[in-house]
Amino acid sequence: MRPREIIPGFYEVPGTYVDDFGYVRSHLVVESDDVLVIDPGTAGDPGDTIVDSIKELGLEPRKNVVGILCTHAHPDHVGGAWRLKRKVGAPVMVHDGDTDLLRDPGLFVRDRLLLGLAGRLAMKLERGPLKVNYKGLEPDRILKMGDRIPVGDLSLRVIHTGGHCAGHCVFFERTNKVLFSGDEVNNYANDPRKFYVDLTGSFIAKTKALETLSKLGVEHLFSSHDIPHILGDVALQFQEARDSVRQFQDSIITQIRAREEADIDQLAYDMIQSRGVPLPDTLDALVPTTVRVALRSLEHAGLVSGPMDGVWKLA
């Protein structure tokens, strides 16, 4: 498959369209015959097509690929990392907050989602992009805030956001004003208001990150699940993503006020039934997991208290 050039030197390698997730995308930065892969995708699609895409550009994967850069270590972003590294030999890079998940993919089910027994069984049957069906690996480089990742005469600046999950980073290329945003801005296709975070994520960090990123002067926003956004449309994506975080928290407060007290499962159910905010349609665990993280931020702000016997109340 030939990759699609978005702007000169910047390519996307789309996978198959999957429900809410859209086309799970990998990206390539090509400069002076150097190739940087950003998010190698799932174990099968688009992970297995990246090498062929690089060859379609007239380049040699083992010679020209200088790095495999990961925004974070969720299955739909690093599932293809082990096989891609074996084929191209380039270093795999991820932030320290997600190194454990890169090494042991099973942690995604065990530690990163709020799952009961039924949920754990459902994850074993999962066939979508979040399926854990790949080998872990040791990162070759641990990313830090402010690191520079060179590719030819260009460089990408590492910005640790930590909202979607503890190790989430975005990468900013200043010359072309390109931001590779992973899942921090557009978590799903066609709607920046729809998102989830894992149990290591943070609403506080997400809000701060979105505010900071909106001031970078980004003209090309490339996410892993949505179409590229350019120029004036970029500001709209940031604004709607910021609004969605606030609206999600407001919805939780509304549901607690209506019941006076509620546990996480009840809150998740009420939010789904009320349709007050856009929510993921796939994987039942994503909503209660995000509710749990939101409650932490509301507790930090002194707006809710709990859990007493698993029950949350307004403070």
**Average of per-residue pLDDT values in the chain:** 93
Terminal C-alpha separation, the chain: 55
Q: Say yes or no to pLDDT of 283 above 80.
A: no
- Location of structure tokens 């307004």: 314
Angle, vertex CA 215, rays to CA 209 and CA 216, nearest 5: 95
The CA distance from 105 to 272, in Å, is 29
pLDDT of residue 17: 76
Paired strand residues for 154: 151
Cβ atoms of residues 191 and 149 within 8 Å: no
Task: Cite the residue boundaries of each domain of the chain with CATH code 3.60.15.10.
Answer: 4-242
Q: Say yes or no to pLDDT of 80 above 70.
A: yes
pLDDT of residue 278: 83
pLDDT of residue 195: 92
Q: For the residues 225-239, what does the mean pLDDT come to?
A: 93
Highest CATH level, class, for 249-314? mainly alpha
Angle, vertex CA 195, rays to CA 191 and CA 200, nearest 5: 160
Class of residue 177 by CB neighbours under 10 A (exposed 0-12, middle 13-18, buried 19+): middle
Please give the DSSP secondary-structure letter assigned to residue 247: H
What's the pLDDT tens digit per position in 104-151?
999 999 999 998 877 777 777 777 788 888 999 999 999 999 999 999
pLDDT of residue 14: 87
The CA distance from 79 to 77, in Å, is 6
Which superfamily does CATH assign the domain made up of 4-242 to? Ribonuclease Z/Hydroxyacylglutathione hydrolase-like (3.60.15.10)
Q: Say yes or no to pLDDT of 306 above 90.
A: no
- Location of structure tokens 């891609």: 84
Measuring CA to CA, which residue among 238, 206, 208, 207 is closest to residue 221? 238
Task: Cite the residue boundaries of each domain of the chain with CATH code 1.10.10.10.
Answer: 249-314
What's the pLDDT tens digit per position in 89-103?
999 999 999 999 999
pLDDT of residue 207: 97
Q: Say yes or no to pLDDT of 170 above 70.
A: yes
Alpha helices, H only, the chain = 50-56, 61-64, 75-78, 81-88, 99-103, 107-110, 117-125, 203-213, 232-259, 264-274, 286-300
The CA distance from 134 to 44, in Å, is 9
pLDDT of residue 121: 78
Percent of the chain's residues with pLDDT above 90 = 77
pLDDT of residue 129: 81
pLDDT of residue 1: 63
What's the pLDDT tens digit per position in 8-53?
999 999 887 777 677 788 999 999 999 999 999 988 776 679 999 9
What's the pLDDT tens digit per position in 138-165?
999 999 999 999 999 999 999 999 999 9
